[in-house]
């Protein structure tokens, strides 16, 4: 009998010890915020007001709010809204005839999205004008969207004008853009992303947590266009997400954003394809690193450990952003500087080639004796070259997200632009159109 009691006692002690050890391991591996999942307040599905979610998750909410006041700049990016047109006046020429030649500022933190979209001079608020700005421009700016899309459907949302939609939108980017209320899991909230993934035969609900830490950013940080008169938000991914696959999609659709003045080239404007650029076989993507790893590292606030929702350039906090994986943070930050300098210089070379091509095509187009077929070939190359350059340029990391890809795209864009220039010269049989450095000479 006594023997059995002893065994029982030892058994109970072992179980207690194991449970305690288990709890300790669990606590060590799970940040305090994730453990405290018992909701203090019930969050309505797709609740647009982030402050309400913030009652339950104060660290995430406090850090998200910091994105509103961030203003530190880095060599090529950062959080102030500096003008790209002033910094690189070649872009005024490259976007001539299109609103981006009037106003093109660097991105700021998430909580400024609404203020910035309403302030841009690119808006056309004249609802009588067929070129009026559609409501679609709000798609990536507000936590009101998931609820509105659910309520009215995206087609109806996109068919409205920007003006008409304005009264429905009163929150900048927030929790409901990335999380499902209740479970707090990361979700695809933008119907256009869901449709684009489906078109590729992908089902995001089967993605791993690490994949979602990248895909959630693709709700917004992607290339897109407005399809048809209903301005339906569409990601051009049916053929794939590499730049050549996106170009082939636009060729098939016969889509263009505007016609280049006096050259007659049907142009494409790239948006901000960080997702496509990063996932095109970059070292980090292939190694399983996610956007959130660098832009939303775990941070501590007393006992609480949480993902910083103060999303900005990782060069501002490299110890947190890179130091979790790289022991020599100074070395990798130095690599960023080298890569960005190389990409920036190569990018300007592509811009010079494009400007020479534009000038040659304009001169050839003004010549009534030009060979129309050759001139059209020159335009087709101009269209392709400029989209490639823009795909790299509008991607906001100055090449860091995928350095080899950046340099390859730049080289191809430069080559195609020079070919366009040569064809334009050939179309009028005039070697003077081969002049280089027409508008700018590289310093």
Comparing CB distances to ligand HEC, the nearer of 149 and 278 is 278
d(CA 72, CA 74): 7
Comparing CB distances to ligand HEC, the nearer of 298 and 439 is 298
Q: Which two tokens stand for residue 259?
A: 């016609």
d(CA 341, CA 217): 26
Comparing CB distances to ligand HEC, the nearer of 147 and 318 is 318
d(CA 259, CA 257): 7
Query: Minimum distance between the CB of residue 78 and ligand HEC, rounded to whole angstroms?
Result: 5
Q: Pseudo-torsion of CA 44, 46, 52, 53, nearest 10°? A: 100
Query: Minimum distance between the CB of residue 147 and ligand HEC, rounded to whole angstroms?
Result: 13
Comparing CB distances to ligand HEC, the nearer of 49 and 251 is 49
Comparing CB distances to ligand HEC, the nearer of 233 and 357 is 233
Query: Minimum distance between the CB of residue 179 and ligand HEC, rounded to whole angstroms?
Result: 5
Instruction: Determine phi and psi for 306, rounding to 5 degrees.
Output: -150, 165
Query: Minimum distance between the CB of residue 178 and ligand HEC, rounded to whole angstroms?
Result: 3
Query: Minimum distance between the CB of residue 408 and ligand HEC, rounded to whole angstroms?
Result: 14
**Helix, strand, or coil (residue 41):** coil
Burial (CB count <10 Å: 0-12, 13-18, 19+), residue 262: middle
Query: Minimum distance between the CB of residue 340 and ligand HEC, rounded to whole angstroms?
Result: 6
d(CA 83, CA 101): 11
Query: Minimum distance between the CB of residue 231 and ligand HEC, rounded to whole angstroms?
Result: 18
Comparing CB distances to ligand HEC, the nearer of 337 and 411 is 337
Instruction: Determine phi and psi for 168, rounding to 5 degrees.
Output: -85, -10
**For residue 288, how many other CB atoms are within 10 A of its CB?**
11
Comparing CB distances to ligand HEC, the nearer of 184 and 374 is 184
Residue with tokens 């104060």: 58
H/E element holding 85? helix 84-87
d(CA 348, CA 334): 22
Contact assessment for residue 364 and residue 375, using Cβ atoms and an 8 Å cutoff? yes
């Amino acid at each position: 009998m006594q023997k059995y009691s002893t065994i029982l006692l030892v058994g109970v002690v072992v179980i207690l010890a194991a449970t305690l050890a288990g709890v300790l391991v669990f606590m060590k591996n799970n940040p305090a915020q994730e453990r405290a999942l018992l909701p203090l307040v019930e969050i309505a599905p797709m609740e647009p007001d982030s402050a309400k979610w913030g009652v339950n998750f104060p660290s995430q909410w406090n850090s998200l709010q910091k994105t509103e006041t961030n203003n530190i700049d880095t060599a090529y990016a950062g959080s102030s809204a500096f003008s790209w047109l002033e910094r690189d006046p070649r872009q005024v020429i490259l976007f001539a005839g299109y609103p981006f030649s009037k106003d093109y500022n660097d991105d700021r933190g998430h909580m400024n999205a609404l203020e910035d979209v309403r302030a841009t001079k690119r808006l056309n608020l004249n609802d009588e004008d067929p070129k009026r700005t559609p409501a679609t421009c709000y798609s990536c700016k507000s936590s009101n969207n998931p609820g509105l899309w659910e309520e009215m459907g995206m087609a109806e949302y996109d068919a409205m004008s920007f003006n008409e939609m304005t009264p429905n939108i009163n929150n900048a980017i927030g929790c409901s853009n990335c999380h499902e209320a209740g479970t707090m899991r990361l979700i695809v909230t933008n119907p256009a992303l869901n449709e684009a993934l489906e078109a590729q035969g992908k089902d995001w609900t089967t993605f791993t947590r690490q994949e979602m830490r990248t895909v959630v950013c693709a709700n917004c940080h992607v290339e897109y266009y407005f399809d048809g008169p209903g301005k339906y938000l569409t990601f051009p991914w049916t053929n794939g997400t590499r730049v050549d696959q996106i170009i082939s999609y636009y060729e098939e659709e016969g889509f263009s954003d505007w016609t280049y003045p006096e050259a007659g080239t049907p142009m494409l404007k790239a948006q901000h394809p960080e997702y496509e650029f990063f996932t095109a076989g970059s070292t980090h993507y292939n190694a399983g690193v996610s956007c959130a790893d660098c832009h939303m590292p775990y941070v501590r606030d007393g006992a609480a450990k949480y993902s910083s929702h103060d999303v900005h350039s990782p060069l501002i906090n490299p110890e947190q952003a890179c130091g979790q994986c790289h022991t020599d943070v100074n070395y990798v930050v130095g690599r960023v500087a080298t890569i960005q300098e190389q990409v920036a210089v190569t990018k300007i070379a592509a811009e010079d080639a494009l400007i020479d091509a534009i000038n040659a095509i304009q001169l050839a187009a003004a010549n009534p004796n030009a060979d129309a077929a050759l001139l059209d070939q020159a335009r087709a190359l101009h269209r392709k070259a400029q989209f490639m350059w823009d795909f790299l340029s509008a991607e906001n990391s100055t090449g860091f997200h995928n350095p080899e890809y950046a340099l390859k795209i730049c080289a191809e864009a430069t080559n195609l632009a020079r070919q366009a220039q040569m064809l334009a010269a050939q179309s009028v049989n005039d070697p003077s159109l081969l002049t280089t450095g027409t508008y700018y000479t590289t310093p």
